[in-house]
Structures are given as structure tokens and as C-alpha cells.
Amino acid sequence: MRVITLDLVRFFAAMSVVLYHYTAKPGMDYLISGLTKYGYLGVPVFFMISGYVISMSASKRTAMEFVISRFVRLYPTYWCGIGVTLLVAMVLGEGNYSLLQVVTNLTMLNDYFDIENIDDIYWTLQVELKFYGCVFILLMLGVFDRFKLWLVPWTALTTIHLLTNQPGFMGWFISPGYSPFFIAGIVYYRIHSEGMTWPNVAILCVAFVLSMIRVFQQTHGFIEGISIADQFISAIIIAASFGLFLAITTEKVQLAKRNVYVVLGGLTYPLYLVHNTAGKAIIDACKSAVSEAAAIGFTLALMLFISWLIYNYMEKRYSGKLKSYLLRLQSGTITA
């Protein structure tokens, strides 16, 4: 079941990240810069959405069906994003990528080999991939639907790690710093399915507190010349996101299904993939001919158009066919 409201939340989260990268760099002083400097918080909102959506979809699938579903969702669009970035780099003479860097980036596993991302923002995909890997293991063990069996220990380990930075190995298989947001998303789905049971409420409260701690810890890395006010505003934004998710989960906030919401949700992933390195290179190239504001406006429109092309002509047309083929291949009804 598609949650239409989350499509809109996902799009606004993506736009907040895009505007953060385009208008909140040090030295920029646009009217919206005071607001867009908090746009990096769209990333933890993505992780909350992921926790919710993956909980909803994985509970209905086998481990291999889950792997196929996630592969089809992540990789083809990701490869298109890499292609766009490399094409822009080649045309504009930006970047210097080795064959090894490109090949390992295509696997999304380059971080394990200390090979640099082609685009800095790909680190978030590696966080997602670790989460998916853990879900796959839980499905293989047949315990994914027994949420409290693994969600409580995960929450406890996350708490210990945020307070002590231990166990040190935790980051190899899950991101402890962003775990509170995944956990919150999972619990919101459990609340939607089971209601406000005391275990759900208790875990959500712990996830909320851990999220606040994480926001205060990470703000220094995302906002230049940070102040206490910036930390509190960031915390308020995340707290509001928790409140919005609760309203969506309990169906206090609902949107009628409209195709435009589905399209906006569909634009989100390709937009996130193409906007940063390629977009910044285009902005820099345009600044010699037009003002920076005009260059940003043009680039934003171009990135949205490219995202629509990827969504409309690749995802919509071929993702379903690829998924169907892989599922039939996995079930043995066809041969490679």
C-alpha cells in the first residue's frame, strides 16, 4: 500500500537537501539561506521514511524477494545518476575519476574499500544499504516480523554507541548515528499496524531522545559558524518531523491520491542522485554568463527535468519489467 502523504514528505525533504547544497554554502547570503541552511535535515527524514516503508514492504516478502525489490529500486536509477555525473564532468572538464573508482562506486560498496565516492552525497546510500542488509538477514532468519526481538537490542546498542562510541564494530553493519531515525520509522509502522502499545511508545520515546542527541552532535558538521540557536532550531525541526510522522501514522493527516503526488515522490531519488556534483558544476559554469541566482534557478529546473526523464523513461517503463524478470528467474520459472 502506497502512503501518498509520504511521497510529498519525501519530495520536500529532497528539495530541502538540494537547496541546502545550492544556497547555504559559506559566503552565500540569499534571502532563503537562513532557512535552507537547515536543509541537511532532509536526510534523517529520508531515513525515517525508509524505516517505515521497508517495514511495510519487507514483512510481505521472502528474503530473496526483498533483495530483488531493493536492487531494482536502488541500482538502475543509481547507475543513471552516476552516468549523469560523469557526463557533466566530461563535458565541463570537472573531476578526475579513475576506472577503479567508477567500478567500485557502481557496486555501492566502495566505502568498505576506502575508495572515494564519485559524489559526496552517496554516503547516505551506503547507510541505506547497511540497513537493507540487516533486514535481509532478519528475513533469512525468519524473525523480521518479531520486531521486539531485534528492535529492543538495536535500540539499546544505539543508545550505548551514542553515549560511549562503543561497540566500535557497529558501524560496519549498521549506521549507529542514524539508527534512531530508522528505528523511529519502524515504530511508526508498528503503531500504524498495532496501535499505541506501550512497547511501541517506549521505543519511540527512546528513539526521539536519541535523535535529539544526534541532532545536537551533528549540527557542527553541517552549518558554518554554528550557534546554540542553530542547534535548537535543528532539534525543533526534527521534533516537528516526529510529530508529522505520528499524524500520518495515525491518519490524522491524509491526502487524496493524486497523480502529481506520485510523480513528485518518483522524482525524489533521481533528483537526489544528480543534483549535487553535476548541479554544482553546471552552476559554476553558468556563473560566467549570468548571476549566481539565475544559474541556481536554471540548474534546479534542469535537474528536475533530468530527474523526470529518469523516472518517466527508465523507472516507470523498465523497473517493473526487470523486477518481474528477476523474480521469475529466482523462482526458476525461466532460465538465464
Evaluate whether residue 27 is within a structural domain.
no
Query: Which distant-in-sequence residues (6+ apart) come within 8 Å of 223 by Cβ?
Result: 37, 38, 40, 230, 234
pLDDT at 15: 98
Place of cell 509502522: 189
Evaluate whether residue 235 is within a structural domain.
yes
**Which amino acid would we find at residue 291?**
S
- Beta carbons within 10 angstroms of residue 206's beta carbon: 19
At 210, which helix (H) or strand (E)? helix 198-218
pLDDT at 1: 53
pLDDT at 48: 98
Per residue in 156-211, pLDDT (tens digit) is 999 999 999 998 899 999 999 999 999 999 999 999 999 999 999 999 999 999 99
Per residue in 264-308, pLDDT (tens digit) is 999 999 999 999 999 999 999 999 899 999 999 999 999 999 999
Residue of higher predicted confidence among 252 and 79: 79
Q: Provide the mean pLDDT of the chain.
A: 93
Return d(Cα 14, Cα 11) in angstroms, integer. Answer: 5
Q: How many domains does the chain have?
A: 1
Residue of higher predicted confidence among 29 and 107: 107
Evaluate whether residue 164 is within a structural domain.
yes
Evaluate whether residue 236 is within a structural domain.
yes
Q: Are 184 and 207 in contact (CB under 8 A)?
A: yes
Going 42 to 38 to 176 to 113, the CA torsion angle's sign is: positive
**Which amino acid would we find at residue 168?**
G
Mean pLDDT, residues 68-81 taken together: 97
Evaluate whether residue 112 is within a structural domain.
no
Using CB atoms within 10 Å of the CB of residue 157, give its burial: 0 to 12 exposed, 13 to 18 middle, 19+ buried: middle
Evaluate whether residue 237 is within a structural domain.
yes
Mean pLDDT, residues 96-125 taken together: 96
Give φ, ψ of 59 to 5 degrees: -70, -15
Q: Are 182 and 168 in contact (CB under 8 A)?
A: no
Evaluate whether residue 324 is within a structural domain.
no
Crossing angle of helices 292-310 and 63-92, in 10° steps, is 140
Phi-psi region of 179 (alpha: psi -120 to 50; beta: other; left: phi over 0): alpha
**Structural domain boundaries enclosing 227:** 1-17+40-59+145-255
pLDDT at 335: 55
Return d(Cα 222, Cα 317) in angstroms, integer. Answer: 37
Evaluate whether residue 210 is within a structural domain.
yes
What separation, in Å, do the N-terminal and C-terminal C-alpha atoms of the chain show?
A: 31
pLDDT at 296: 96
Percent of the chain with pLDDT over 90: 83
